[in-house]
Amino acid sequence: MPDDNETLLDVRDLKTHFFTDEGVVKAVDGVNLSLKRGQTLCVVGESGCGKSVTARSILRIVPAPGRIVSGEISFRQRHGDRIDLARMNPRGRDIRNIRGREISMIFQEPMSSLSPVHTIGSQIMEAILLHLPVSKAEARKRAVSLLDLVAIPRASEQLDAYSFELSGGMRQRAMIAIALACEPQLLIADEPTTALDVTTQANILDLIRELQEDSGMSVLFITHDLGVVAEIADEVVVMYLGRDVESGDVDTIFHNPKHPYTRALLQSIPRYDSRAGERLYSLKGTVPHPFYRPAGCPFHPRCDDFIAGQCNANDPQRYNFSAGHSVRCLLYVADDDRSLRDLPT
């Protein structure tokens, strides 16, 4: 476990597998990430790479038949103690005191993450009353000020509104208000803007950033949108098939990417200066079926720099380029004598 005070969340070699009747799906199979106080960490990857399962593993709300098989989720509580969330009973009181109080989460679809038959206010007040020693009247007052905080107009009226009476953007604001009800240290945002249109998306991102500046909370942001990453991230973790393939600060990832997958992702962003008729770069192949995980480096069948006999045989270990910049790729590890190969430029 890290012992510095600045690291709020440190995930080491987390493995979350789903034990289905057809076989074991290794949705998360060795993820490492680390998040400092007050910073924003973006987890990026294609659909099915295990981003959401990683996020849910932290809060211990992985749906059955999934469960954490190994790894460590070290979290520094408000009063300074470090605890390992991975070892907690997912139905126990201890993890419930973390959920909503220390770590909150907002989800991809604001419509379905709010109850269809309860008012916005009742759900905010529920979160407040669960964790803070306040009366119902105080909770209601706090709920109104939370709706004000997330810039929902006519807050005291909207408190009694149902989710279907609000627009998509307003719903996500309401979700954020619920998440912030007890001033958590960490906000996990699982693709919170994916279901929204671009303008609303920008507003929500601005809101999250403002709230973060005011409160000093950390944000774990799950997304597949590299544009969003460039806008809000301090640190980035790129995931592929349940693993972190590259992690580093946002400048390094965008300007000096080392892993072929990261490079391919960046190349597939459409550019303003591309000429008419020029073909958009696209990654070859598709994400493999979860039951047929390629041996060796799981990315090798799609990789442009594939080394036969190496990549399909050996499992790449994490290699640190510099402090905070690590890559899992055999290009950077020696064949036999484990000395560095020539770095491709």
Partner 1 sequence: MIWYIARRIVYLIPTLLIVSMIAFLVIQLPPGDFLASLISKAEETIDQAQVDALRERYGLDEPIYVQYWKWISGIVTRGDFGDSFEWNRPVSDLIWERLGLTMVISLFTLAFVWIVSIPIGIYSAVKKYTIGDYVVTVIGFIGLAIPNFLLALVLMYIAFRYFGQSVGGLFSPDFIDAPWSLDRVLDLLSHLWLPVIILGTAGTAALIRVMRANLLDELSKLYVDAARARGLSELKLLFKYPVRVALNPLVSALAWVFPALVSGSAITSIVLNLQTTGPLLYRSLQAQDMYLAGSLILLVSVLTIIGTLVSDILLAWLDPRIQLQ
What is the binding site for partner 1 (CB under 8 A)?
56, 59, 61, 63, 91, 96-101, 104-105, 107-109, 112-118, 123, 126-127, 130-131, 162, 164, 175, 178, 181
- Degrees, nearest 5: CA angle 331-337-343: 30
Burial of 80 (C-beta count, 10 Å sphere; 0-12/13-18/19+): exposed
Burial of 336 (C-beta count, 10 Å sphere; 0-12/13-18/19+): exposed
Q: 248 by DSSP, 3-state: which?
A: strand
Q: Cα(153)–Cα(173) distance, rounded to whole angstroms? A: 11
Give least dist CB 107 to partner 1, A. Answer: 5
The β-bridge partners of 235 are 41, 249
Complex with partner 1: residue 187 or 297, whichever CB lies closer:
187
Residue from 213, 206, 210 nearest 228 by CA: 206
Q: Cα(86)–Cα(77) distance, rounded to whole angstroms? A: 14
Q: Cα(211)–Cα(216) distance, rounded to whole angstroms? A: 8
Give least dist CB 216 to partner 1, A. Answer: 21
Q: Cα(70)–Cα(198) distance, rounded to whole angstroms? A: 38
Please give the order of strands across the beta sheet that includes 7-19: 24-36, 7-19, 66-76, 82-84
Give least dist CB 109 to partner 1, A. Answer: 6
Complex with partner 1: residue 32 or 52, whichever CB lies closer:
52
Complex with partner 1: residue 115 or 256, whichever CB lies closer:
115
Q: Cα(73)–Cα(29) distance, rounded to whole angstroms? A: 14
Complex with partner 1: residue 73 or 114, whichever CB lies closer:
114
Give least dist CB 64 to partner 1, A. Answer: 9
Complex with partner 1: residue 59 or 238, whichever CB lies closer:
59
Six token digits for residue 274: 């591309």
Complex with partner 1: residue 87 or 118, whichever CB lies closer:
118
Complex with partner 1: residue 105 or 297, whichever CB lies closer:
105
Give least dist CB 124 to partner 1, A. Answer: 10
Give least dist CB 133 to partner 1, A. Answer: 14
Give least dist CB 105 to partner 1, A. Answer: 4
